[in-house]
Amino acid sequence: MKKALILLAFIISFSSCKKDEIKPIVVPEKIEPIPEIRYGYNLDDFNVIQDTIKSGDSFGAILDKHHVMYPKINEIATSVKEIFDVRRVRAGKPYTILASKDSTQQAQIFIYKHDKINSTILDFKDSTITATLYKKPIIVVEKEIEGVINSSLSATMDSLGLSTNLTWTIADIYAWTLDFYKLQKGDSFKFVYEEKYIEDSTFAGYGKVKSAVFKHKGKDLYAFRFLADSTLNIHEYYDDKGKMLRSQFLKAPIKFQYRVSSRYNLKRRIAYYGNRIKPHRGTDFAARLGTPIISTANGTVVESTRRGGNGKFVKIKHNNIYSTQYLHMQNQNVKKGDYVKQGDIIGWVGMTGNTGGPHVCYRFWKNGREVDPFKEKLPAAKPLAKDVEPIFYEFIRPLKYQLDYKRIPVKKPEKVTEIVAQN
C-alpha cells in the first residue's frame, strides 16, 4: 500500500512538471510578398523582358517582335515624338519591356535606358499613350582624396583609381591659374568631391567638386565652388582671397599632357636657314597627334582654312581688341561664322604646313598685332561684390578647414553665464 502511494505521488508530480513545460504553439500569420515596384509599376503584374538593342534593331522591329501591330507602333511614334524620337534608339542601349501576362504576351510598356540614371518610359497599355522622363533616385556621397605628383596629374589620378572625367574637371578648375606642363615632382593636391550612386551601391558618376587645394612650388592654390550671384545661378571657383579663378583667357589651348616646345621670340635664329633671324610670333604646344585643341576664350570664328606653312588653322575674334589663331591642325572642328565658348574643341593637333612634329602654334593678337600672351596683362574676371565678400568668407571657412585638417570643424558650444538671483 505504501509503495502504491509513493508511485502515485511520483506520477502526479511528473505530470505537473510536464504540464508546466508545455507551451502553446504560435501559428504565424500569412506573410504577403512585398511587391517589386520599379519605374512606378508593380512588376508582378507584368511579364518582364530585359534586353539590349542590337545592331540593325529599330523601335518598330522590337515592338513587332513583342506582338504589337504596326498601326499601333506608328500611333505610338507619332504620339511621343515631341519627347522621344523613336528613330534615335541606339545599338548597345538596354531596354525593358513590360508585357501582359495573358496568352498574347503583348508589350504594354517600353522603357529605354539612356544611361544608369535616366530613362524614357513609353506607356501604351491603354488608349492614352504617354511618354515620361524617369530619373532613378540618386544618393550623393561626399568624398575626399589627396595625391602627390610623380609624373603628371592624369597619371596620379589614374593611380588613385579616379576616372578621366574627374581629372578633366580638376584641369578645368585650374586651367586659368596653373600650367600643368610645369607641375613638379612632389606637388600635391587635395579635393572634396561628390560621387553619385543608385540603388545604394551602383556608381553613377561624379557630382560637384566642392573645394580643392593644389600645392605647387610650395604655394597653396585654393579653389572653392561658390554662387556669387543668385540671379545668374552660375557657380564659379574662387581662391581663399575671393579672387575668381576663371579669367578671360585660358593659359593654354590644350588642357594637359603637352609641353611648350618653342616660345614667342622675335630674335629667334634657325640653323636650317643659315642661322638667320626668323621671328617666331607664336607659342608652340607639342602634344600627341589628335589631341583636342580648345578655344582659350569665347568668340567668333573668322577663319577656318588651310594656307601655306600655317597648314590647317582656325582664327577666332574675341572682341575688338583680342584674337587668337591655332596653326598646324590635323583637322578643324569649326567653320567660319561659328560662335565658340571658352574650352570648346575647335580642332585636333596635327602636322600640316611647315612643322617638324605634332604641335599647335598658338598666336595671340592684340589690336591687330601679334604679341606674347604670357607677357600681357590680360583682363581678369569680375571680382566679388563688396556686400558678398563677408558671405563668401563665412561660406569657405569650414571648407578650408576641412582641406587643411582633413575634418570638418566642430562648433564650440556658446558660453553660458549663470545669473544668480540676489535676495
CATH number of the domain at 273, please: 2.70.70.10
Domain match, 93 and 43 both: yes
Q: What is the average pLDDT across 304-325?
A: 92
pLDDT score of 416 more than 90:
no
Q: Is residue 230 part of a domain?
A: yes
Q: Is residue 27 part of a domain?
A: no
Domain match, 112 and 153 both: no
pLDDT at 178: 82
> Under a CB-based contact definition with an 8 Å cutoff, are residues 57 and 89 in contact?
yes
Least confident piece of the model among 87-91, 168-172, 277-281, 406-410? 406-410
Print the domain residue range for 332: 259-375
Domain match, 240 and 277 both: no
Q: Which of 112, 135, 158 is the last residue of a domain?
A: 135
pLDDT at 22: 58
Domain match, 268 and 338 both: yes
Q: Is residue 121 part of a domain?
A: yes
Domain match, 196 and 118 both: no
Q: Is residue 15 part of a domain?
A: no
Domain match, 269 and 371 both: yes
Least confident piece of the model among 121-125, 178-182, 191-195, 378-382? 378-382
Question: Which residues in 384-393 are b (16+ Cβ under 10 Å) and which e?
Answer: beeebeeebe
User: Whole-prediction pTM value?
Assistant: 0.62
pLDDT score of 405 more than 80:
yes
Question: Which residues in 324-358 are b (16+ Cβ under 10 Å) and which e?
Answer: bbbbbbbebbbeeebebebbbebbbbbebbebeeb
Q: Is residue 23 part of a domain?
A: no
Domain match, 101 and 180 both: no
Least confident piece of the model among 169-183, 321-335, 406-420? 406-420
* Total tally of structural domains belonging to the chain: 3
pLDDT score of 421 more than 50:
no
CATH of the domain at 69: 3.10.450.350
Q: What is the pLDDT of residues 222-249, one digit of tens each?
A: 999 999 887 778 888 999 999 888 877 8
Domain match, 224 and 124 both: no
pLDDT at 6: 55
Q: Is residue 190 part of a domain?
A: yes
Q: Which of 101, 135, 169 is the last residue of a domain?
A: 135
pLDDT at 417: 44
Alpha helices, DSSP H only, in 143-296?
A: 153-159, 164-173
Q: Read off the C-alpha cell for 209.
A: 567638386
> In the structure, what pLDDT confidence band is assigned to residue 419 with cuts at 50, 70 and 90?
very low
User: Given CA atoms 262, 265, 268, 270 in this order, what sign does their dihedral have?
Assistant: positive
Domain match, 359 and 282 both: yes
Q: What is the pLDDT of residues 285-302, one digit of tens each?
A: 999 999 999 999 888 999
Exposed (0-12), middle (13-18) or buried (19+): which is 378, by Cβ within 10 Å? middle
Domain match, 388 and 371 both: no
Q: Is residue 18 part of a domain?
A: no
pLDDT at 276: 63
Q: Is residue 236 part of a domain?
A: yes
Domain match, 207 and 291 both: no
Mean residue pLDDT of the chain comes to 85
Domain match, 241 and 386 both: yes
> In the structure, what pLDDT confidence band is assigned to residue 422 with cuts at 50, 70 and 90?
very low
Alpha carbon of 383 to those of 176, 234, 321, 342, 389: distances in Å? 15, 14, 21, 19, 10
pLDDT score of 279 more than 80:
no
pLDDT score of 3 more than 80:
no
